[in-house]
A = this chain, B = another copy of it.
Amino acid sequence: MKLAVVGGGSTYTPELIDGFARLRDTLPVGELVLIDPAAERLELIGGLARRIFARQGHPGRVTTTADLDAGVEGADAVLFQLRVGGQAARLQDETWPLECGCVGQETTGAGGLAKALRTVPVVLDIAERVRRAAPDAWIIDFTNPVGIVTRALLRAGHKAVGLCNVAIGLQRKFAALLDLAPAGIHLDHVGLNHLTWELAVRRGGPDGEDLLPGLLAAHGDAVAGDLRLPRAVLDRLGVVPSYYLRYFYAHDEVVRELGTKPSRAAEVAAMERELLALYGDPALDEKPALLAKRGGAFYSEAAVDLAASLLGDGGPAVQVVNTYNNGTLPFLPDDAVIEVQARVDGSGAVPLAVPRLDPLFSGLISHVSAYEDLALDAALRGGRERVFKALLAHPLVGQYDLAEGLTDRLLAHNKEHLPWA
């Protein structure tokens, strides 16, 4: 089995490698190709990857290359984990929306639109090259904004599934609080990528007993504290919103916080530098503890499970993925991409049925999904008016002059990434 990782030079990659090494029984990888144009960085990561495999006695081979077409040739699955424009662009996404009084975030709101505009064309180009070099390969997309990127991949006819670590992170968190094995917990997880709610926490499987009321009663403070939401939000709604709902439920508070705190620039850049320095140590043969602070926890477990199911080695399994709606949420078009539990096997992912949603959730989902449709249109076709329209359609913008001011800034800060701008 051959796997390729596009964006393999990311400082996240050792997390993925560690998962492949630990879970080699689930997913017997023969060759793992890390692909990245940043040669020096790639070598650092590649070296560490080989040492991790060696230490854990993994028989597979790790190779590195800057040549995308060669790297993906014959692959069974290709993982996409790109960041077009790198940390510099992300920091912009987090900053200029604040000038207009709007949240600055890399996947939500105007910053997320900027990321989508930069990313979609690059991802589609890579996917096309994957299709030529490995026509049967599954694309597993971690590239944010996962919802819009997966929508782009699916509309272009690619074999793609979108993946995010929010659901698995909550599953592990809840399992620990309940003192249960993670595999014994299933989440009724529903919404769009980064706009999801856990409606139930079930024992054993999708039809098991709902443990959520008891979980909230016993551990509500711990759960709410992690999400930085008031405990009362969870108790009153009776569900667990994703961390990203904070940008909606507490938007103005977040804006004020962001405007009166140091930007995360120095912090993140320092951490990346420190990680790369650690990775270069020839004695290091495991993922360093510092990586846990970088985000992305349990992302390798999710990726291994998903790849195993898609490649036929894991048998059908229920996993939280991003895929076409196809009637699952009746208030969305069939070709909207949703994030829900799905049955996954070698033929792809099919969502499990979702009971009628409370209007409190369906209203916001509809609104954001409509924005995503316009965002994708802007990413595919370009043009200032399409950007403006997507922003006006976003529930966190919605106002004419805000959309205008944000459009201007988005274009000014992303000129080098948007040929049409």
Q: Kindly report how many copies of this chain are found in the complex they form together.
A: 4
Using A250-B400, A401-B253 as known contacts, say yes or no to A408 and B262 having CB atoms under 8 A apart.
yes
Q: Chain B nearest CB: distance from A227 CB in Å?
A: 12
For the complex, give the distance between the alpha carbons of A389 and B262 in Å.
17
Chain B residues with CB under 8 Å of A266's CB are 412
Closest to A233 in B: B400
Chain B residues with CB under 8 Å of A293's CB are none
When the two chains form their complex, are residues B256 and A252 in contact, meaning their CB atoms are under 8 A apart?
yes
A395 sits at the interface (CB 8 A): yes
Stretch at the interface among A95-103, A129-137, A313-321, A343-351: A95-103
When the two chains form their complex, are residues B399 and A252 in contact, meaning their CB atoms are under 8 A apart?
yes
Chain B residues with CB under 8 Å of A370's CB are 359-360, 362-364, 366
Q: Chain B nearest CB: distance from A7 CB in Å?
A: 28
Chain B residues with CB under 8 Å of A369's CB are 363
Using A252-B399, A399-B248, A399-B249 as known contacts, say yes or no to A393 and B101 having CB atoms under 8 A apart.
no
For the complex, give the distance between the alpha carbons of A370 and B370 in Å.
15
Chain B residues with CB under 8 Å of A359's CB are 370-371, 373-374, 393
When the two chains form their complex, are residues A395 and B374 in contact, meaning their CB atoms are under 8 A apart?
no
A385 sits at the interface (CB 8 A): yes
For the complex, give the distance between the alpha carbons of A401 and B253 in Å.
9
How many residues does chain A have at the interface if contact means C-beta atoms less than 8 Å apart? 58
Chain B residues with CB under 8 Å of A101's CB are 101, 256, 259
- The A366-411 residues at the B interface (CB cut-off 8 A) are 366-371, 373-374, 385, 388-389, 392-393, 395, 398-402, 404-405, 408-409
- A363, A398, A404: residue with the most chain B Cβ atoms closer than 10 Å: A363
For the complex, give the distance between the alpha carbons of A402 and B252 in Å.
10
A229 sits at the interface (CB 8 A): yes
When the two chains form their complex, are residues A408 and B261 in contact, meaning their CB atoms are under 8 A apart?
yes
- The A217-252 residues at the B interface (CB cut-off 8 A) are 229-230, 233, 236-237, 248-252
A263 sits at the interface (CB 8 A): yes
Using A99-B95, A331-B332, A401-B250 as known contacts, say yes or no to A412 and B366 having CB atoms under 8 A apart.
no
When the two chains form their complex, are residues A263 and B371 in contact, meaning their CB atoms are under 8 A apart?
no
Closest to A362 in B: B370
A290 sits at the interface (CB 8 A): no
A265 sits at the interface (CB 8 A): yes
For the complex, give the distance between the alpha carbons of A248 and B236 in Å.
27
Binding site for B on A (CB under 8 A): 95, 98-101, 104, 229-230, 233, 236-237, 248-253, 256, 258-263, 265-266, 331-333, 359-360, 362-364, 366-371, 373-374, 385, 388-389, 392-393, 395, 398-402, 404-405, 408-409, 412
Query: Can you offer 7 A-B residue contacts whose CB atoms are under 8 A?
Result: A248-B399, A263-B408, A265-B412, A331-B332, A360-B392, A360-B393, A363-B393
Q: Which 4 A-B pairs have the closest CB atoms?
A: A363-B370, A366-B366, A260-B405, A359-B370
